[in-house]
Amino acid sequence: QAQLVESGGGVVQPGKSLRLSCAGSGFLFRSYGIHWVRQAPGKGLEWVAVISYDGTKEFYGDSVKGRFTVSRDNSNATAYLQMNSLRHDDTARYFCANSDTFWGWMESWGQGTLVTVS
């Protein structure tokens, strides 16, 4: 059973940085792409970014491009979302999800970690 666990959320001031982690287990982490998706309080899902299984490809949503960076450490089965220049509208719960094909669906999801910019 695939499991993804996000961590690193918290309260941060506008303009500051935060790094989220996504630890994977129960599946071959190094073979899966990892997506980041966020959900502002009371709002819908917004796709944030994706990184390929080997870290060679990464793409970002318009609202975070140039501020957020995804990376991964396959030796530790962990992906990261580095968030810089945080704004109030980045306040959301951030989920990671895995995908066994880069251009495919988000198969398993973590429970998310809450980021509050205030």
Partner 1 sequence: QSAPTQPPSVSGTPGQTVSISCSGSNSDIGSNTVDWYQQLPGMAPRLLIYKNDQRPSGVPDRFSASKSGTSASLAVRGLQYEDEADYYCAAWDDSLPGRVVFGGGTRVTVL
**Residue 112 and residue 5 in contact, taking contact as beta carbons nearer than 8 Å:** no
Residue 37 sits in the site that holds partner 1 (CB under 8 A): yes
Nearer to partner 1, 27 or 109 (CB): 109
For 53, the token pair is 């299984």
Please report how close the Cβ of residue 13 comes to partner 1 at its closest, in angstroms: 26
46 binds partner 1 (CB under 8 A): yes
61/80 Cα distance (integer angstroms): 16
Sheet containing strand 3-7, strands side by side: 3-7, 18-25, 78-83, 68-73
Sole window of 17-25, 46-54, 68-76, 83-91 interacting with partner 1 (rule: CB under 8 A): 46-54
Q: Does 27 bind partner 1 (CB under 8 A)?
A: no
